[in-house]
Structure 1
Amino acid sequence: MLALLHTSAAHIPVFDALRDRQRPGLALRHTVAPDLLDDARRHGPGAVAEAVAEVVRRAADDGARAVLCTCSTLGAVAETVPAPVPVLRVDRPMAEAAADRAGDGRITVAAALDATLGPTADLVTEAARRAGHRPRITTLLIPGAWALFEAGDTDGYHRAVAAALTPLTDVDAVVLAQASMAPARALLPASAPVFASPGPGFAAAALAATGEPVPPNG
């Protein structure tokens, strides 16, 4: 079983669909805790470390073989809490792929929530340095987009993200800081590679939970 920690219930069907496509039969255990994101925004991600650790311990006690945190704001905390099973952040594989693609070029980290920009930019910087690259990283906060997401207007949310990203042509990679932004890629014209976290993040977590890689066509 793979356990997933979300801060929005909107992620549940996304990862259920990924499971159905990439790893049919893998049991998923979803925990939705929006209060963790609220507390992290108010007091910093470190303030919710114990609460995240408790979610992980409960999941392990229930039989989870790995835990995937799908919230980028909490990712750095989640992957470092003491845990009896592997704990992964959904955006690390995405950051590594973007760093490899851009090399020493230009990467834009885009987010709808300001609390996510710093953690994601730091992760991309870390991934690039580990790979021996020193890209130029800029950040883009998309005004008004998060309010649309919170209001349940996901179509408007994705359109706002796509509208903000469309002018970004002079970059080597665009990183979508939040998993919820991924569908906006389908609304974009062909330009710089745009990297989203759900697919590669789920593949890494499924591998940790089962010991078997996702098939190449998954």
Structure 2
Amino acid sequence: MTIACLHTAASNIAIFDQAAQSLGMQPTQLSHIVMPHLLAEAESTGGMTALQQHNLEQFLHSLTPWFDAIVITCSTLGPVADGFTAQGNHCAVYRSDRLLADEVHRLPGKALVLCAAESTLAATRALFCPPGVPVEQLPEVQLIPGAWAAFKAGKHDDYHRLIAQAVEQGKQQGAATVALAQVSMTAAASHCATPPLTSPHLALRHCLR
């Protein structure tokens, strides 16, 4: 199986490579495509516009003949995977945060979902809190103030520290499960006393199955 990961941050490459190694995947099975301008465009318009979504769909169609699966690792771009159908081939397109949401919905107890980037907040709430889910089963979705500014400034230690603090605070306030909605947040898990749920391992495992 060959899997392509579509990233908007180059730092996500190492995160997915590590997850692939933990699953016993061969290096030739995983490819990375990094397109930071797609996130920059979405952030400039307060989220993806219809035109941006159309352009991304066309790009995905150009990739599908070459891979068995494509994983969109950016939560802002992820909604494009919903309802996407490859034309004339077997390639499936997934959003890594949906596979994380499925895991959150399966687990009992109060759940907290943390976001770092404001541009992904609406898409994350729509994904983790869909219509029809009983109120008592809906997770709480929170934005971590200052986290994304630290990431964009290259202050990754501060970024991870802010995320770890938010995880611990959520646990102290009674969350049975804390999930990190964005792939770039994954490295912060090693700074937490109780590791939160993250999407890279879940996404690759799902593709392999």
The TM-score normalised by the length of structure 1 is: 0.82
8 Å contact from structure 1 (residues 109, 138) kept in 2: yes
1:176-191 aligned at under 5 Å gives the runs: 176-190=180-194
Equivalences for 1:169-180 in 2 at 5 Å? 169=172, 170-180=174-184
- CA-to-partner distance for each residue in 1:18-50, whole Å, 9 max, x for gaps? 222214224222111111112222333244222
Instruction: State the shift of 1:114 in Å.
Output: 1.2
Task: Report the residue type matching 1:183 in the other structure.
Answer: A
* 1:91 partner amino acid: D
For 1:178-217, list aligned pairs within 5 A.
178-190=182-194, 194-205=196-207, 207=208, 213=209
- Structure 1 runs not aligned, ≥5 long: 208-212, 214-218
Give the corresponding residue for 2:106: 100
CA, structure 1 residues 82+122, in 2 after alignment: closer, same or farther (shift >3 Å)? same
Aligned partners of 1:109 and 1:117 also within 8 Å: no
**Distance in 1, Cα, partners of 2:202 & 2:105:** 14
Q: What residue number does 2:160 align with?
A: 158
Q: CA 1:180–1:127 in structure 2 vs 1: closer, same or farther (change >3 Å)?
A: farther
Report the CA distance between 1:127 and its aligned residue: 9.7
Corresponding letter in the other structure for 1:92 = R
Q: Distance in 1 between matches of 2:161 and 2:72?
A: 25
In structure 1, the partner of 2:144 is: 142
1:75 to 78, 81, 85: 78
Shift of 1:139: 2.3
Cα distance in 1 for partners of 2:82, 2:14 equals 23
* 1:20 paired residue number: 21
Shift in alpha-carbon separation, 1:70–1:80, aligned structure 2, 3 A: same
TM-score of the superposition, structure 2-length normalised?
A: 0.85
Distance 1:144 1:60 in 2: 37
> Which 4+ stretches in 1 moved above 6 angstroms?
none
* Matched-pair identity in %: 32
- Secondary structure of residue in 2 paired with 1:67: strand
Structure 2 residues not aligned, in runs of 5+: none
What is the SS of the residue equivalent to 1:118? helix
Equivalent position of 2:61 in the other structure: 57
Hey, what's the Cα distance between the residues in 1 that align with 2:131 and 2:31?
Answer: 29
Instruction: Note the C-alpha offset of 1:10.
Output: 0.7
How far 1:135 sits from its partner (Å)?
1.4
Amino acid at match of 1:38: A
Is contact 2:164–2:189 with CA below 8 Å preserved after alignment?
yes
Q: Secondary structure at the match of 1:81?
A: coil
The alignment's C-alpha RMSD in Å is 2.2
Q: Deviations over 1:157-212 (max 9, x none)?
A: 1111111221112122222110111122221223xx7211111012112x2xxxxx
